[in-house]
Amino acid sequence: MNNTNSIGLNTEKSKTLVDSLNGLLSTYQIHYMNTRGFHWNIKGQNFFELHLKFEEIYNDLLLKVDEIAERILTIEGAPLHAYSDYANNSLIAEAKNISDGKSAIENLLSGFKTLISTQRALLEQASDASDEGTAALMSDYIKEQEKLVWMLKAYLN
């Protein structure tokens, strides 16, 4: 009996990774929607710079959503694709009625803290499964987001 998938990963470990990646996908989707809402609803003195920054961030989040879904497919899983699944599996709550820059950035920082922590756990899980593709993806995301967190924190201070 062969216990590996078509790319040579252990089938059971891949199923566990798919579950974790779907949780991450859900969290990204809610974080994306929150950021999109900040972009649309931002008001105040820093409108122009924050409006553009939020657009930059949500565009990056959307790319990562696609990459995560494609990684799930690559390891022979099925990505979640219904909003109700995202809402039920996200580690980030919906943010509603936020229009001031400070609150929006604080919400983004909280969301990125959750994403980074989740990705670190997934990096370890992927390494244990010898899944270099998922591990590399998580490592790249962590590196980018740690720098973004530093920049967002600097903006607040």
Q: What is the pLDDT of residue 129?
A: 97
Q: What is the pLDDT of residue 20?
A: 98
- φ, ψ of residue 155 to 5 degrees: the values are -65, -40
- φ, ψ of residue 110 to 5 degrees: the values are -60, -45
For residue 139, the 8-state DSSP code is H
Please state the separation of Cα 155 from the chain's center in Å: 22
Q: What is the pLDDT of residue 2?
A: 80
Q: What is the pLDDT of residue 123?
A: 98
Architecture of domain 11-156: Up-down Bundle (1.20)
Q: Take residue 67 and report the two structure tokens written for it.
A: 């990459």
Q: Exposed, middle or buried by CB within 10 Å (0-12, 13-18, 19+), for 57?
A: buried
Q: What is the pLDDT of residue 1?
A: 61
Q: Which residues of the chain have pLDDT under 70?
A: 1
CB atoms within 10 A of CB 74: 16
